[in-house]
Structure 1
């Protein structure tokens, strides 16, 4: 089938890997892990989840648009097969061990079987969204997988919607439609917002979709611009001007803005704040894409950061939370953070080499060639307004 007009860049550079984006994954996941141990030091550390969402929306949409630009279609079955192989086998290993721990006298894992089943079917976020008070223990040992549920529910809906738009509309109109879809969750959050709706807004796939769609919009914009398009140069110029202010604002939010629990930031954050965070992440992503020689890109492209983000970020996110609770229940207190971090890296490495790499080879065998960067996992909240889901020692 001939190449489809309207996406020249997608045809030239389909699914290219950007080391700086992988390095950004590392920073995001380590921010979330640190936040789960030291909420008071980084009250906005859950913003690492928001950054992951925007990265995922960008990367997945770039792959889908590139496929459509080359073939005039998107193989939805193959897409879902690749997503399943990328995300689910490693998750199932964590779920299986969590279920087994429910047989041991470990308090947090009392509901390990129910938590494992909910996590395996990407339902933790929906259960938490329905809880107006404090989160119950039914999801406790795998409470962090709420964010994976949001992401996987997005993966179910967005590809067929994007395919329908691409088939029926011109490229410019597809972009406009994506922008409108990105703004709708903000209006929906304004409609829903009150202090008892915090769990509903924080965990809902519909109320967090704008963060993924903001990345999707960036992917569509870049796919539409040929390398010599003057608009690409304009984006490059503004990215050079704005990446440092955007990164500074994100850092300040992580340091000072309390996202979960009662605070003066609740109203702004739970209405427009999620989109603001996503737009700041979009600026950073644009700079990583278009400014390969910028100080930020060079820093995040350092081999250790890029390798961890590319290969271990998902495993680190999956394992840190149950290991944190397991070691805490076993009496590790003063050295809980370093002990958990070491155990998490060991389990993430094992997951990568024993589960994720074999599954990646299966993906390539089914596709006929290596896949570009894929979406990764993400992160978490809990009383009438959410408190930090990962703080050690809290009742869940």
Structure 2
């Protein structure tokens, strides 16, 4: 009987609601005296294109759908896509881009970043749905004699406080059974820890240096995790590197760097046109390389690829993803944008991708425990996952986001 393997997954959580783009004029915004002259000077406080567009990018939502489907297939049929965990790399970079774009847009409007409001929005978007999934998993563990859910309540507690990645990072040998029932939530831990730290770091950069220097600092920060992985690399450190928030930070920061670059360039700046032109040319090769990784490179298994992937590979995947993201953001009329902006793809990515991510792993484990045959596990798991995601969206996520 096939069971979902203990492999990495994707954080499809970062679906940005309209409230995220609203102007935050909360009394809790951190604005220093230096913000006043910037507010009067206009020009987006050094980010003239921070408010460019202002709406959702449908192609980015479609990219979320592709990534989360890839991961579901990977967890059920790893032989089909042995490198399917590259979906997590895609989502880290996408999340860094979207979050930073929102933060810079708020700074350009108001001269500050409302940290308390930001954390509240992130909690409303991510927390209740996560806690619901954890509670259901814990109840299954305690109420039913299901082998794959034995002791799952412990994993549910760790997932609820977003520390699964830290536990896994500390395991030098094979992953233990402690986090196995909800091991997919490791990537949520990485992103939550990034969300806690990055707005503060970005705000400090924006308040205490110029926009140009802030761009240089973000670029420098992107390099540090690569150097850190090179220093750490050893086969026994694979779990530490794969799950650590510090060793995966460059993937999120490269997305952040792209957001800063696009906000810095005016609409009539020839460098912006050049960037869009080259992104468009390189988009299909970037897609092809990411697909080749998913098809051929067993990222989460011990192989000859490990020394390369666990050091430079993370950054390479992030740069390929950033190329795709730049194309989708700058060239809405391009073929990649049109394809990923199809109504069904963009709707699922916008509304269901987070729920699909949360529920697919426990749903597949449940179906496997109930005796579903291997050849039926993928289609039945996909249907059940979408049903669970729809319920999560309708009953938990959407009502709370409206209240928020």
Q: What residue in structure 2 maps to residue 39 of structure 1?
A: 78
Matches within 5 A, 1:101-116: 101-103=140-142, 104-116=144-156
Q: What residue in structure 2 maps to residue 264 of structure 1?
A: 304
How far apart are the structure 2 equivalents of 1:245 and 1:219? Answer: 22
CA contact (8 A) 1:324 1:340 kept: yes
What SS does the aligned partner of 1:70 have? helix
What SS does the aligned partner of 1:102 have? helix
1:50 partnered with 2:85: no
CA contact (8 A) 1:142 1:321 kept: yes
Q: What residue in structure 2 maps to residue 79 of structure 1?
A: 118
Q: CA deviation at 1:5?
A: 2.1
RMSD: 1.0
Matches within 5 A, 1:197-276: 197-276=237-316
Q: What residue in structure 2 maps to residue 162 of structure 1?
A: 202
Matches within 5 A, 1:169-188: 169-188=209-228
What SS does the aligned partner of 1:79 have? helix
Q: What residue in structure 2 maps to residue 311 of structure 1?
A: 351
Matches within 5 A, 1:312-391: 312-334=352-374, 335-363=376-404
How far apart are the structure 2 equivalents of 1:11 and 1:304? Answer: 27
What SS does the aligned partner of 1:137 have? coil
State which of 131, 137, 150 in structure 2 corresponds to 1:92: 131
How far apart are the structure 2 equivalents of 1:221 and 1:326? Answer: 45
How far apart are the structure 2 equivalents of 1:240 and 1:150? Answer: 30
Residues 150-207 of structure 1 deviation map (CA, whole Å, 9 limit, x = unaligned): 0000000100000000001111111110011111000000011000000000000000
How far apart are the structure 2 equivalents of 1:131 and 1:198? Answer: 9
Q: What is the TM-score with the length of structure 1 in the denominator?
A: 0.90
Residues 349-382 of structure 1 deviation map (CA, whole Å, 9 limit, x = unaligned): 000011110111122xxxxxxxxxxxxxxxxxxx
Q: What is the TM-score with the length of structure 2 in the denominator?
A: 0.88
CA contact (8 A) 1:94 1:319 kept: yes
CA contact (8 A) 2:45 2:111 kept: no
Residues 105-146 of structure 1 deviation map (CA, whole Å, 9 limit, x = unaligned): 011211121111100000100000001111111112111000
How far apart are the structure 2 equivalents of 1:258 and 1:149? Answer: 23
How far apart are the structure 2 equivalents of 1:5 and 1:67? Answer: 11
CA contact (8 A) 1:46 1:259 kept: yes
CA contact (8 A) 1:109 1:140 kept: no
CA contact (8 A) 1:35 1:45 kept: yes
Unpaired stretches in structure 1, ≥5 consecutive residues: 364-396
Unpaired stretches in structure 2, ≥5 consecutive residues: 1-38
How far apart are the structure 1 equivalents of 2:188 and 2:313? Answer: 21
CA contact (8 A) 2:77 2:378 kept: no
- Which segment drifts farther, 235-244 or 50-59? 235-244
How far apart are the structure 2 equivalents of 1:313 and 1:133? Answer: 32
Q: CA deviation at 1:240?
A: 1.8
How far apart are the structure 1 equivalents of 2:308 and 2:136? Answer: 39
CA contact (8 A) 1:111 1:140 kept: no
- Which segment drifts farther, 235-244 or 204-213? 235-244
How far apart are the structure 1 equivalents of 2:45 and 2:204? Answer: 16
How far apart are the structure 2 equivalents of 1:327 and 1:20? Answer: 32
